[in-house]
Amino acid sequence: MHLYETHIAVSDTAASEKFYHDVVELPFAYRDPTRDVTFLWADSKQKGMVGLWGPGTAYGQRDGVISKCHFAFAMPLEQLVSAIASLQESGIETFGFNGEKLSEPSVIGWMPSAQIYFRDPDGHTLEFISILPEQPVPGFIGTYSQWNSRKAE
Predicted confidence (pLDDT) per residue in 96-136, tens digit: 988 999 999 999 999 999 999 999 999 999 999 999 999 99
Predicted confidence (pLDDT) per residue in 17-61, tens digit: 999 999 999 999 999 878 899 999 987 777 889 999 988 787 777
Domain range for residue 91?
68-153
73 and 55 within one domain: no
Cα dihedral 97→103→104→105 (10° resolution): 30
Q: Which of 56, 70, 49 is nearest to 5 (CA)?
A: 49
Residue that terminates a domain, selected from 31, 46, 64? 64
User: What do you get for the CA distance between the two ends of the chain, in Å?
Assistant: 37
- Number of domains composing the chain: 2
DSSP assignment of 112-146: TEEEEEEE-TT--EEEEEEE-SSPP-TT-EEEHHH
Which stretches does DSSP call E strand in 3-96? 5-9, 28-32, 37-41, 49-53, 70-74
Spatial separation of the C-alpha atoms in residues 33 and 24, rounded to whole Å: 23
CATH of the domain at 134: 3.10.180.10
**Beta strands at 5-9 and 49-53: parallel, antiparallel or unpaired:** parallel
Q: Residue 1: its pLDDT value, please?
A: 52
Cα dihedral 83→87→89→93 (10° resolution): -130
